[in-house]
Structures are given as C-alpha cells and as structure tokens.
Copies of this chain bind each other. A is one copy, B any other.
Amino acid sequence: MKASVFALCATIFMPLAWCVAAEQRQVERWGVFEVALKGPAAGNPFVDVDLSAQFTIGQSTLRVNGFYDGEGRYVLRFMPEALGMYRYTTKSGVRELDGQQGAFECVNPSTGNHGPVRVKDTYHFAYADGTPYYPFGTTCYAWIHQTDELQQQTLKTLAEAPFNKIRMCVFPKNYAYNKNEPSIYPFAKDSAAKFDFTRFNPAFFRHLEKRVTELGSLGIDADLILFHPYDEGRWGFDRMDAQTDRRYVRYVVARLSAFRNVWWSMANEYDFMRRKQASDWDDFFQLVQQSDPYNHFRGVHNGTRWYDHNKPWVTHASIQSANLQDAKQWRRRYKKPIVDDECQYEGNIAEPWGNISAQELVHRFWLGTVVGCYVGHGETYVDANDVLWWSKGGVLRGQSPSRIAFLRKLVEEGPPVGLEPLEGSWEWDVYAGGRKGDDYYLVYFGSHQPISVRLPLPQAEYKAEVIDTWNMTIAPVEGAFRGKASIPLPGKPYVALRLQKRQ
C-alpha cells in the first residue's frame, strides 16, 4: 500500500501530533493548529477548569473545547477546514486562560492530506477533497496497550497490509488471549495506587495521539472505541459513574477531534455492557456530536442486539454480523453507509467468531463489497505467546489479507462512485452483483460455479474479465458482450466477472 504522506511538524510542546506548533503562522488545511497556554496546576484542573475557544473565518465560527495536559499546561487544538485567515479567542473561568487571541493562515494541504473522510452519496465515503475512500478495515483492539516493540511491529505490518482503517480501543482489554497488564492507563493513580477517575493521565493520551498520528502517516483511519465490556471490573473502566463517563468522553474528544483520521465508535459490543442503559448510548452519541466540531463519524458496534442506526446522530451503521448475504437489506433499512466491521475473523481459536477459514472471510468480503457495503478484517490464529492480531497486533499470518488487497485494488480501479446493488432482473440472475453506472459491473458468484451466464447487459459492447478471487488472477474473456449474450465462465466457485463498457 502506498502510505499517505503526513507532514510531521514537531514542536517542543507537542512532538507527537502532526503539523502542530505552539503559535503557528500557517497551518495546512485539515492539519492541526494548536495553542498551548500556561495556567493553574493546583487543585484538580481536569475538573475545576473550563476552557474553550471560538475559531472564526469569514462568517463562520466554530467552538472548540480545550483540555488540561498536566503540569499547568492547557491546550486548544483545531483542524481548519477552509483556506484563509482564522482568528481565535479563548474563553475560560480562569483569568489567564480567558480572552487570549491569535490568528493563523490555513494554506493548501500537503501531498497525501485529503482531509477527513465524509459520507458520500448516502452509502459511500470520500475524503473531504473528493478523493474516494473505500474502507477496508482491520481490528487490533488493544495494540496500543502492548510493549513498544510489539507496537512497532504492528505499525510495520500495517505499512504492508491492505487496510486503511483500524478498530482500536482507548481502554485496555481483559479478555481471552489478552490478559496482560498495560504499562500506562488513561487515568492517574492516587497515593493508594488506585485509579483517581477525576484525573486523566496526559502521558497516556499523548501515546494514543502518537499512534493515531502514525496511523495517519500510513493512510489509516483510527476507529476509536470509547467503551467496551472487556474489563469486568479489573480496572473498572466499564463501570465508571455517569459523570466520569461523560468527562472521559469530552476529554478524549477535546484531545483527538482535531486529528483528521479519527472515527468515534461509542463502544464495542455495546449491548454486552450490562451496567449501561439503552439511553446511555443515545447520550454518548449526542455528547460526541456536540463536542466534536468537525463531525467525525459516529457509530456503535453491536454484540447480539443491534443499535437503531436510523437514529439521527449515527453517521454509518457499524455492524457485527456473519450474514453478508443480507447486506443489501441493511442498506435499505438504514440508508447510510454500511460497515460490517466484524463478520467473524480468519483464525483457528475455539470461539466461532474467531475461526473461519481465509476462504470464507474473503467470500464474505466479496459478498458485502459488490453490493456497495464495506467489510472489516480480523485475525485470530492461536499463538504460543498469545499474540493474536485481532487484539494485540504483531504480524499477520493469514491468507486473507493478500486477497483483500486484491479486492481493494479492483474496487479502486473501478469508477470513483461506489458500488451499488443490482436490482430487478439482475437480482435473480446472479448470486450477488455490483454496478457503477452503466459502464461498469462487478458480479460475484460465490459458491456458484456456472460455465456460462447471461446477464441483463444494456445494448452496448462490454469487455469481460474473469476474476479468480482466491488465486488473484484476472483473465480476459474473448469477444465483446451486449444484451443477454452468454458469457463463458470457468465453472468453478469463487470467481467474479468484471464488465466494462468499451470506449
């Protein structure tokens, strides 16, 4: 994969975030502008001090929350989305933090900076500059909670892998194959070595931000999971009181929303967090929506009970389901982008969600992709040291990633608008199909093995190619095809057909 180039502008204050300076004169579009202010260190600034700022360009004003970064340091981060001169004024109950003013110029983005990803045409995605984005995500829940060596290996693996999105937890995990203690936590500890849930640990968040930045440099969006049930009281992050939950959400959002490659996932398997009420999730969604001035994606990942993705604060349906044959129906139900980010993982562990064959995972990717949905990857092979990609990262050992890379390349080679399900006469004629206007069709046959097929092509000439989804070959079919012409196929399963109108 060709990694996006992120210009890293290290400063003495924030060596980890990209394009950051204490008082930059120029900031690239969708980069990070940062103001650091000196303020009180006494008491508990995480709770006691409020700080925000208004950023203004022309007639447009955005309100941004600041955050306390420890040692008397207060920070405001801002991601400019318009070119031109921005001015800001801070607001705080603390005198030295209040009424501070400044300005910077937002200039053209550097190469590889396409801005944050947005919804496009109801079901699809594109970067803010219009560059298409087709999410091919993977899952490494707790990779930032492992040894530095392992985290470096994960980044190295990701640099070579086909993934442009990663699902990852803010909190550490206490779960099968995954019980190691992290070295750093989001909350500070008190003198009795117990968590003080009123004080964040800025070092933890700087670490998180560094990893998010590094992912950005690799062209990978970070789907940050705010809550999850895999704690079971070990650290207590799954059972904080409502006030702490909300303070935590506001703090994470204040720190990270200026990073253009962030997505917000309210939780993983939210319905397995038995101590939360159904309405808590609505509240978190709305809190994030109010706190994030850039409107990054907001989703929530189900266990067995799906969240109602029709609710107005949900930007895309984040789904756990093995039933990709139903993907077309999910589009109809939600009329939003569909991301099935857990359709079970390639692996061989005992749990059924983590032991499907590579062939089956690739099959599910194809099923979802050709009907204009997006499918996520994970890998769970038993390992002597319990380093499973799905949770800790490390190396990929499966056979699906190369096939997913092949599929991604095919999708990217297609016309820039996303795939759409084939309706009407296509529906019965093919097992699953996808189209991009009239000049491009991608038809997948799954476990079907016809030696020929008739498709309802328009009355124009199409060239046909047979795609072997497993062996990753593309073979042209001799001749040109139009209307209901019979197109020969190899008579084996797991092939697809690409049809493109002849110019």
Contact = CB atoms under 8 A, between A and B. Distances in A.
A10 interface: no
Size class of the A contact interface (CB-based, 8 Å): 20 to 34
A449 B325 CA distance: 21
B448 A352 contact: yes
Contacts of A350: 450-454, 486
Interface string A174-202: 00000000000000000000000000000
Given A355-B448, A355-B450, A448-B356, A348 B491 contact: yes
Nearest to A427: B352
A494 B209 CA distance: 44
A429 interface: yes
A396 interface: no
Contact of A348 (B323, B363, B450): B450
How many monomers of this protein are in the complex? 2
A430 interface: yes
A282 interface: no
A349 interface: yes
A457 interface: no
Q: Which of A363, A486, A493 has the most CB of B within 10 A?
A: A493
A428 B304 CA distance: 11
A203 to B, nearest CB: 39
Interface in A452-503: 452-454, 486, 491-493
A360 interface: yes
A44 interface: no
A340 to B, nearest CB: 16
A353 B351 CA distance: 32
A151 interface: no
Contacts of A357: 447-449, 492-493
5 contacts: A350-B486, A352-B448, A352-B450, A357-B448, A363-B447
